[in-house]
Structure 1
Amino acid sequence: MTLSLLLSFIGLCVLLSITPGPDTFLVLRYSIADARPGIAAAVGSALGGMVWALVVAAGVAALLEQSATAYRVLKVVGGIYLLYLGIRALVDHRKARKEAAAAGAELAAAQARPAAPASIRSAFAAGVISCLFNPKVGLFYLAVLPQFLAEVTFANTLALGAIESSIAAVEMVLVALLASKAVAMLRKPVVRDRLEQISAGILAALGVGTAASAA
């Protein structure tokens, strides 16, 4: 690969990384209470991207391009998972509100405290699974990576996949850090509640849209 092709590929990856997608909203969702779960989700998503790069490099992802059924099944599964994350976030939010209301005298203190952050392990797993069940990642690698390679080999393809995943990871980590800082400055309970509801709703909508588009 020539230097000009490499720089062009990096530029394309940077441009694509700043375009919001399911993984970006997932990172935002986990960053509301604390940056660490958001960073874990970002790293998990990047790892999922590396798995796709490995699959494409091995030639297995060509099956997705040739089989409409395989593509649709994977897309539906991914959409259902995003929908599940969104619904679970809304349910957890409502449950927390009800418990705070039942506490009576402790309600004001509970609202003043920041929302309890998700575990780093669960956020990481969500990032991995969300990316793995997004067949567009595999098809992107399959369609785009060869355009920037003079010779398509396992090592070259995997290297470009690693570059794209690294750029996406850096962008999503920055999103997590900025989101957590922004929320830290907006600790009002009403604002925090609305942010949680909106991010959960977006995840659920993305899940429905992803599954529906597979029809």
Structure 2
Amino acid sequence: MTWASFCAYLGVCVMVTLSPGPDTFLVLRYSLVRQLHGVIAALGMMVAIFAWATLAGAGAASVIQRFPIVETVISTLGGLYLIYLGLSGFFKSRAVAKADSAIARTETRSTTARQVHSLGKTFTAGMLSAALNPKLGLLFLAMMPSFIPQGSNTFVWGMGLGAIFASVGFIYMLILSTAASKAMHWFKRPEIALRLEWIACAALFIMGVGVLVHAFF
């Protein structure tokens, strides 16, 4: 790969990463509970992104071209999962607020909220969000081959390019998670955090519906 090709690929990574999507809202939603949860969710996403890039290097694009039903299945599962994340997040946050309204009005609300989410579930949610994102997968399958030098080991190159994309994405998600967590610390108003959680959940739900509609129409 030439230096110009590398810079072009890096530019694509940055542009795709900065584009708002389900992964962005999911990290924001978890970061409002606790920054660590946002970081763990981002790590899960990067694992899935690395897997997509590796599959692209292994020639998964040809499989999807031969069997379009695979894309439809991924889109359907991805849409349903985003809807699930949006609805479950909304009901969980509302349950926390109703369970102890006295705590919800103090700075210690985050302590109660932490009990709702385990780090393992947070990591899995982030990983599945990226793994079942059809646009992200198709993006890799479409663009990755053009950046792999002819005659080289496509599998190894796919892993390498995937690692670069995952690194760029994680750095951005880390900055985003830190900013969201710090902002809520400055506000020190649990009511604001609750409303922002609901907005993030609504965005996930709407995106999920959009993915389902696109899958069948």
TM-score, normalising length from structure 1?
0.91
Residue identity opposite 1:110 in structure 2: A
2-side partners of 1:6 and 1:180: how far apart?
A: 33
Q: CA RMSD in A?
A: 1.5
Q: CA, structure 1 residues 165+65, in 2 after alignment: closer, same or farther (shift >3 Å)?
A: farther
Q: Offset at 1:38?
A: 0.3
* Contact map agreement 2:58 2:158 (CA 8 A) in 1: no
Judge which range, 157-166 or 59-68, deviates more.
59-68
| CA offsets 1:67-99 (integer angstroms, 9 cap, x no match) | 322111111101111111110111112222322
Q: Paired residues, what number?
A: 209
| CA offsets 1:162-198 (integer angstroms, 9 cap, x no match) | 1112111111111111111111112213212211111
Name the structure 1 match of 2:78.
78
Q: Offset at 1:20?
A: 0.9
Which runs of 5 or more structure 2 residues have no equivalent in the other structure? none
| CA offsets 1:124-149 (integer angstroms, 9 cap, x no match) | 11011111111222221221122223
Q: Offset at 1:155?
A: 1.5
* Contact map agreement 1:56 1:142 (CA 8 A) in 2: yes
* Contact map agreement 2:74 2:132 (CA 8 A) in 1: yes
Residue identity opposite 2:100 in structure 1: A
Structure 1: 4+ residue segments shifted above 6 A: none
Judge which range, 53-62 or 176-185, deviates more.
53-62
2:109 counterpart of 1:114: yes
2-side partners of 1:136 and 1:110: how far apart?
A: 37
1-side partners of 2:163 and 2:127: how far apart?
A: 15
Residue identity opposite 2:104 in structure 1: A
* Contact map agreement 2:90 2:198 (CA 8 A) in 1: yes
* Contact map agreement 1:65 1:139 (CA 8 A) in 2: no
Name the structure 1 match of 2:95.
95
Name the structure 2 match of 1:126.
125
2:148 counterpart of 1:149: yes
Q: Offset at 1:201?
A: 0.9
Name the structure 2 match of 1:43.
43
Which runs of 5 or more structure 1 residues have no equivalent in the other structure? 102-106
Residue identity opposite 1:90 in structure 2: F
2:198 counterpart of 1:197: yes
Q: Offset at 1:60?
A: 2.6
2-side partners of 1:39 and 1:183: how far apart?
A: 16
* Contact map agreement 2:48 2:127 (CA 8 A) in 1: yes
Residue identity opposite 1:150 in structure 2: P
